[in-house]
Structure 1
Amino acid sequence: QKMEAPGSPYASSPESAPKRAPRSSPPPPQDRPDADHDAAEPEDDKEKPTHLRFLVSNTAAGCIIGKGGSTINDFQSQSGARIQLSRSHEFFPGTNDRIIMVSGLFDEVVKAMELVLEKLLSEGEESNEAEARPKFRLVVPNSSCGGIIGKGGATIKSFIEDSHAGIKISPQDNNFVGLHDRLVTITGPLNSQMRAIHLILSKLSEDVHYPPNLSSPFPYAG
């Protein structure tokens, strides 16, 4: 179905979440028991573990792993995030692409994504293959796509305006039993893609149904 975006500017749209006001109350004393402390203060979404999954070709997977795993180890130590790949024959259903999963705290995941994206874009510039055109495909559960699209398409439209990236969500593919994920394709220069990824990850981190982690980057095995 076609989504009509409302004509109102997004700044005044009721969909945009109110900014969290800074707490003016004094900090709690240090000797309070932890359980009480947890109950009193909601956890910030960015302090919780989260993850992102995205697709890469076998060639791109090789350049992210590096010789003897040197590149991926370097990216993990620089970012603090964990980076896992599906095995060489484990492709996202309907594609010949492997899945990379980056997991950790919000800022760790963002840092790792920057390192990976810079690497992919620099490799893409060296080879003039058609597939090297800078586009990035995130794997997002169906249940979380509604939050990214927003009412009448308002959220995705605001993300596109904010990041200046192209953002498209694939239709649900019913050809594969047990596939409950869709692809979010992001296009544009590196800084636009990173801004879009940041906005989408922020949205996913707020989604109570979005799991903080998966046991494997490839959850589709029979």
Structure 2
Amino acid sequence: MESPDSSCVSSPEVAPKRSAPPKSPSSDDKEKNTYIRFLASNAAAGSIIGKGGSTITEFQSQSGARIQLSRSHEFFPGTSDRIIMISGAFDDVIMAMELILAKLLSEVVQAEDSDDVDPKSKVRLIVPNSSCGGIIGKGGATIKSFIEDSQAGIKISPQDHNFIGLNDRLVTLTGSLEEQMRAIYLVLSKLIEDAHYSQSTNGPFSYSGVNFSSFHGIPYIQLLPSVGTVAYNAVPNVAGGKFQNSKEDRGNSVTIGVADEHIGVVVGRGGKNIMEISQVSGARIKISDRGDFLSGTSDRKVTITGSQGAIRAAEAMIMQKVASAAAR
């Protein structure tokens, strides 16, 4: 077994040859819902969301996967990076990941304004500590086979004892887009074999149980439970100018958090904005009173009730208002 303090660092140059390629997921596994989490800077997160949520909506529409982001002040412990989670069927998750990484890489190349830029970059996946052993394999055999297959560099961080209760580790993949995507395919194929992995999707952004110990870098910021996490969702199809809202599916309710300073733009003058969002989406929207915040935060509670489609539409419209206000 691998020690929790160990780290596994390998590169394509030192990987030994293997006799058989890693096993691809079965058709049954591919049809199961799965997820992948990774880190992104605030700038990268803004690029993924796009103006008014246009980019993230397009990526969700193209891939069929759901893409969620932690808010701008919610970081993975010990970093200044936000958490992005992609969920859905295996192939949908892979497609969404490729769309995102391709966009981020193209923007790096454009920023350098040169054709000589090395197109290698890195992505840091968040993986439960309990699942890392399967990626490493006996004597490091699995991770070495992944490196040989993908030609990407793969590094698994040691468990961070500066944060008591942190049960996730970072898997860093370096290489070209093609190399990274092959490595992601192999890693996720392995993760979905682990029954415990799929059970950890309930709180993708929640590190509220993690206690700060002795980290002297970026201050620890307590993250919200998943119920308070803003989820950016694809806007459903419009029918007759309004979002579909079947009678059978109006009892769903979701509560999201919106920063107190942004509530005004969501409500609008005389309640104009919130009335418009409610009318267009078909959802009922209730905002908590002043001083009534999500536990442990200064975010007001915004409760959206209606069909799943109406809730998704209202969420997207609310976040568009918030994103526009934050950009000013």
Asked whether the two chains share a fold, i.e. TM above 0.5, the reply is: yes
Counterpart secondary structure, 2:195: coil
Give the equivalent residue in structure 2 for 1:52: 36
Gaps of 5+ in 1: 21-41
Shift of 1:209: 1.2
Higher strand share: 2
Give the equivalent residue in structure 2 for 1:122: 106
Shift of 1:221: 2.4
Cα distance in 1 between the residues matched to 2:199 and 2:181 = 20
1:201-220 maps to which residues of 2 (within 5 A)? 201-211=188-198, 214-220=201-207
Give the equivalent residue in structure 2 for 1:95: 79
Gaps of 5+ in 2: 1-5, 113-118, 210-328
Give the equivalent residue in structure 2 for 1:180: 167
Residue-by-residue CA offset, 1:119-158 (whole Å, 9 max, x unaligned) = 1111111224xxx961100000000000000000000000
Poorly superposed stretches of 4+, deviation over 4 Å: none
Counterpart secondary structure, 1:123: helix
Which one has the largest radius of gyration? 2
Query: Matched residue pairs, number?
Result: 194
CA RMSD for the aligned pairs? 2.6
Residue-by-residue CA offset, 1:8-42 (whole Å, 9 max, x unaligned) = 842269xx66x89xxxxxxxxxxxxxxxxxxxxx9
Counterpart secondary structure, 1:44: helix
Give the equivalent residue in structure 1 for 2:70: 86
Indicate the percent of aligned positions where both proteins have the same amino acid. 67
User: Any conservation in 2 of the 1:81–1:102 contact (CA below 8 Å)?
Assistant: yes
Cα distance in 2 between the residues matched to 1:199 and 1:135 = 16
Structure with the bigger RCO (C-alpha within 8 Å, sep 6+) is: 1
Shift of 1:178: 2.1
Change in 2 beyond 3 A, CA 1:58/1:2: closer
Counterpart secondary structure, 1:74: helix
Cα distance in 1 between the residues matched to 2:77 and 2:66 = 23
Counterpart secondary structure, 2:94: helix
